[in-house]
Amino acid sequence: MKTGNKKKKRREVQSTLNEILKKRKPDDGAEAAAAAEEEKSAEAEKAENAEAPQGEKNADTADERIRAAEAKAEEYLDMAQRVQADFDNFRRRNASARSEAFEEGIREMLKQMLPVVDNLERALAVETEDQKLKEGVELIMKEVNTILEKRGVTVIDRKGEVFDPRLENAVMRAEADAGEPGTVAAVFQKGYRIGDVILRHAMVQVVGE
């Protein structure tokens, strides 16, 4: 807009000068001055016309730089989002692994307690006249069972039910008159489980076919 005003003003000045020269008597000095002024005006206009494309070129270059910067910012943002997603997945996997390791440690500890439970049951099965001793063993047994129950441990004791190799180990075969074929005739050692995880299979006697 400013460039157009300058051109217009120069044209007006040049036109005014030409009108004055027409009215006055021809003078070589005046004509020379007018010619010089006209030439100067033409050069100025030419320079302005040359500056316009350069300005447009600079504007185009600036736009290209902005677009390149925006593209690079999008690239960095996408990279940051992918890194964050990978880290979140790692954190979830790590938390799951820690939880599973903790539960596995609990199961191992409970497995080691099972022989203690067996011995307590054997002690209670023995007849004794020492009532205080018996009451002490019963108290210990009660507390151990409470711990097992809190951890979700259940007993596998399925006498009279159909033998299930997922829960029991058959260590002896019973006669046919001991019960229905394929059923558990006796439990020699109780089994234990937590949900679907078997801590220890039961040792059983199975009725033959």
Q: Identify residue 203 by its one-letter amino acid code.
A: M
Task: Say what the pLDDT of residue 154 is.
Answer: 94
Task: Say what the pLDDT of residue 183 is.
Answer: 93
In angstroms, the CA 44 to CA 57 distance is 20
Going across the sheet that includes 202-207, the strands are: 168-174, 202-207, 184-189
Reduced 3-state DSSP string for 125-180: HCCCCCHHHHHHHHHHHHHHHHHHHHCCEEEECCCCCECCCCCEEEEEEECHHHCC
| Regions of the chain where pLDDT drops below 70 | 1-60
Q: 154-209 belongs to which CATH class?
A: mainly beta
Strand, coil or helix: 194: strand
**Residue positions counted in the chain:** 209
Q: Do residues 156 and 194 touch, judged by C-beta distance below 8 A?
A: no
Strand, coil or helix: 189: strand
Q: Which tokens is 128 given? A: 């004794």
Task: Say what the pLDDT of residue 46 is.
Answer: 61
Q: Where are the domains of the chain?
A: 2-73, 154-209
Chain segment 92-120, per-residue pLDDT in tens: 888 888 888 888 888 999 999 999 999 99
Q: Identify residue 177 by its one-letter amino acid code.
A: D
CA pseudo-torsion sign 18, 20, 24, 27:
negative
Task: Say what the pLDDT of residue 13 is.
Answer: 55
